[in-house]
Structure 1
């Protein structure tokens, strides 16, 4: 098994509490609404949203993947930290673990950091296109939510 870790950071004009509420706490409602061309629904299969919860992301028909299952590993509303693992993956990966942290910036916005750890099966090498595609999906979702929050200043306030 191989282990590959990558970290991405970006800044936003949106405070961490609003981003955390929108992208993490209410993702199952907001993300399908904002990205209907990609995500059909997000269903909670077990749990109450906290650690141990299993969510299924259902992609629209015609997508490369039918869906993914995420397990919530940690959810801290005080430190705006969220850890989750994508489980039940295809033949290349055992799992992919993510750690997301939103921190306040002096200007009232936030610095957002995501660390991704890919656990591959056997001697599978992680392809550059897999890494790039994962980063683009995550950043795309952040940007869509950020734009929504800018246009709707009372949402998740």
Structure 2
């Protein structure tokens, strides 16, 4: 088993509060905002707080993942941070465990924000993930976030 960590950040043309509200409750919003990639999303167990388990099923357009079942580990409303661990599914059979931590930050402009993503993982064997596999860990969430951004820009009242 090899432990690894990959991180990245992206700027979005949507204000912090709007993006945070949507992605905090992604099981409600993703299927309608990015229907080309998300087939369904639901809470399997819990009330939305830490310990809540969600399952997100993806369409074939997502390409790199069929579904993800994940547990919310931490939700910090005041600092706009949430963290979840993947229980099933994901982008690689080489990964034994993985956690995703998202931090939403203001850019000082009410119309934009930055999302910082850190993914920690352990591999199944003694081989580290390659650069392409690490890239997939980051690309998936940011691809969905871009879809949400497009939806919110096209629907200012949403």
* Structure 1 runs not aligned, ≥5 long: none
Evaluate the alpha carbon distance shift between residue 60 and residue 143 of structure 1 in structure 2; reply closer, same or farther with a 3 A threshold: closer
Q: Where does 1:50-129 land on structure 2 (aligned, <5 Å)?
A: 50-60=49-59, 65-89=65-89, 91-108=93-110, 109-129=112-132
1:39, 1:57 within 8 Å by CA — same for their partners in 2?
yes
Q: Does 1:145 align with 2:131?
A: no
Aligned to 1:38: 37
Output the TM-score relative to the length of structure 1.
0.87
SS at match of 1:19: helix
Q: Deviations over 1:26-52 (max 9, x none)?
A: x11221223223221112111011100
Counterparts of 2:83 and 2:139, CA distance in 1: 19
Evaluate the alpha carbon distance shift between residue 64 and residue 151 of structure 1 in structure 2; reply closer, same or farther with a 3 A threshold: closer
SS at match of 1:88: strand
How far is 1:113 from its partner? 0.5
Counterparts of 1:93 and 1:112, CA distance in 2: 24
Cα RMSD after superposing both structures: 1.9
1:20, 1:102 within 8 Å by CA — same for their partners in 2?
yes
Q: Does 1:130 align with 2:133?
A: yes
Moved more, 50-59 or 82-91: 82-91
Say how many residue pairs are matched. 154
Evaluate the alpha carbon distance shift between residue 61 and residue 6 of structure 1 in structure 2; reply closer, same or farther with a 3 A threshold: closer
How far is 1:81 from its partner? 0.5
Q: Where does 1:10-21 land on structure 2 (aligned, <5 Å)?
A: 10-21=10-21
1:88, 1:95 within 8 Å by CA — same for their partners in 2?
no
* Structure 2 runs not aligned, ≥5 long: none
